[in-house]
């Protein structure tokens, strides 16, 4: 009994420590005053100002368009890579999967600087294309790791059975294999979209001038002084990421139960 109470208090303190700053940020995004110390009434004016700011609207456009395009491309490449890895021999599969883990474990700042140097070496102008390529690069491993569990669950004779029943290789792949691993593909796509949406470090090194996303815009605004619109923007980003992560976790739990 005492142990349960202690565990609950400990868990409560952990959640307070993690989410109290975010709760304060959300509360003060509705504060009628610019002051961060006094509550002067409820307002939505910072949210209205947020969508009237041309810099934020431009950053929002680049953030969403890069997240959509990078998640689609990385999902296609990651799915194809996962299928290829799945059909490798055991030692090759182990080697490639260990290599796949490296970009995930690698610090973002190292990945960002490496990509920036690579783009400069190949004379790729830093801007929309470089940021898009960077997001595709760091999203692919997450898609591979999302699709691989579904491939492991797949009956290895399913593809051959479809061919024996008269299906062409393309028909068997798109009508039999892809639907079976679709939950993993969707999970990988949602994860890639979420990671792209709130990435800061890698985007910071690969964006160049003239192109920026919301994370970089918030950083630039914060350097000029904390504006309440930052609270509103951060609140909206937190809610978007929270919803997407909730969907991803729900799909992952459903896949695990299946």
Q: Is pLDDT of 194 > 80?
A: yes
Q: Is pLDDT of 79 > 90?
A: yes
Residue 174 to residue 201: CA distance in whole angstroms:
37
Longest dimension (CA), the chain: 73
Average pLDDT on 2-11 reads 80
Average pLDDT on 13-21 reads 87
Residue 236 to residue 29: CA distance in whole angstroms:
10
What pLDDT score was predicted for residue 71?
94
Average pLDDT on 3-12 reads 82
Spacing of C-alpha 142 from chain mean position:
9
Q: Is pLDDT of 77 > 90?
A: yes
Residue 151 to residue 180: CA distance in whole angstroms:
8
More confident residue, 241 or 142: 142
Residue 31 to residue 40: CA distance in whole angstroms:
6
Residue 20 to residue 116: CA distance in whole angstroms:
35
**pLDDT tens digits, 170-193:** 888 888 888 888 888 988 898 898
Average pLDDT on 166-173 reads 86
What is the enclosing helix (H) or strand (E) of 220? helix 214-223
What pLDDT score was predicted for residue 139?
92
Tokens of 41: 């009434």
Share of the chain above pLDDT 70, in %: 94
**pLDDT tens digits, 90-114:** 888 888 888 888 888 888 888 889 9
**pLDDT tens digits, 221-258:** 777 766 778 788 888 878 887 887 787 777 666 666 66
Average pLDDT on 205-226 reads 79
What pLDDT score was predicted for residue 165?
85
What pLDDT score was predicted for residue 9?
86
- Where residue 219 falls among pLDDT bands split at 50, 70, 90? confident
């Amino acid at each position: 009994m005492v142990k349960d109470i202690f565990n609950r208090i400990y868990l409560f303190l952990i959640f307070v420590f993690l989410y109290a700053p975010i709760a304060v940020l959300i509360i003060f995004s509705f504060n009628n005053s610019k002051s961060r110390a006094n509550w002067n009434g409820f307002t939505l004016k910072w949210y209205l100002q947020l969508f009237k700011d041309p810099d934020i609207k431009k950053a929002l456009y680049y953030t969403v368009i890069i997240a959509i395009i990078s998640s689609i491309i990385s999902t296609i490449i990651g799915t194809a890579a996962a299928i290829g890895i799945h059909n490798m021999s055991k030692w090759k599969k182990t080697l490639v999967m260990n290599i796949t883990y490296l970009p995930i474990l690698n610090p973002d700042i190292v990945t960002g600087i490496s990509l920036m140097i690579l783009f400069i070496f190949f004379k790729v102008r830093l801007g929309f294309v470089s940021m898009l390529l960077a997001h595709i690069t760091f999203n692919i491993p997450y898609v591979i790791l999302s699709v691989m569990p579904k491939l492991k669950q797949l009956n290895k004779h399913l593809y051959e059975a479809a061919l024996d029943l008269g299906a062409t290789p393309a028909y068997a792949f798109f009508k039999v294999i892809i639907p079976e691993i679709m939950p993993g593909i969707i999970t990988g796509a949602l994860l890639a979209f979420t990671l792209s949406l709130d990435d800061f470090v890698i985007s910071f090194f690969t964006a160049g001038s003239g192109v920026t996303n919301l994370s970089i815009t918030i950083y630039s605004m914060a350097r000029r002084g904390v504006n309440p619109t930052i609270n509103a923007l951060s609140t909206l980003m937190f809610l978007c990421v929270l919803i997407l992560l909730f969907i991803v976790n729900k799909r992952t739990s459903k896949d695990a139960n299946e």
